[in-house]
Amino acid sequence: MIRISNGTEEPQEKPAEELLSIGQVSERTGVARSALHYYEELGLITSLRTSGNQRRYPRHLLRRISLITVGRQLGIALSDIKEALAPVPMDRLPSEEDWVRATAHWKLVLEARRRAIEELEDRLMGCIGCGCLSMQACNLLNPDDQLSQQGAGARRLDSDESSE
């Protein structure tokens, strides 16, 4: 048994096999200790403290940390990951329903990202395939010829020169 505290309640005794040290979590997930500290600072994960003020992580957080890692590998911002994992409790073993709620939200985030990437790809392929090299007609660099409202000439070059 390990005596732990979460800072707000009376210290409790927890079975040692339910809690992992930061080194054990780092080894099991492949996430650096400094990253675990950072995730905790951001509220992505939480830890309990022993009477000696050492961090102990509930075993069920391993899945959450692994999902954070997958999200980061996909280029998803930590703020988006935090929002997607918000329905998943950290203070107890998450239920299947908790994971279903998180999955539904995460799916919406990923679908929006996929649509944005596909739109960018279509616009970029159109630009490459067009070959016009026109700053007036280019749908990617100057949609609907918005720069024409600023007058004739190289508008982007003028704005760079004025900042010097």
Summarize pLDDT for 48-99 with one digit per residue, the tens: 888 788 889 999 999 999 999 998 998 888 998 998 899 899 989 999 998 8
- How large is the average pLDDT for residues 116-145? 68
Using DSSP's 3-state secondary structure scheme, residue 50 falls into strand
Question: 11 pLDDT exceeds 80?
Answer: no
Highest-pLDDT range among 4-18, 65-79, 143-157:
65-79
Please name every residue paired with 12 in a beta bridge, in sequence order, or none if there are none: 4
| Domains, the chain, ordered by start | 2-111 (1.10.1660.10)
Q: Flag whether the pTM goes above 0.85.
A: no
CA pseudo-torsion sign 67, 100, 57, 17: negative
Query: What is the rounded distance in angstroms from the CA atom of residue 5 to the CA atom of residue 11?
Result: 5
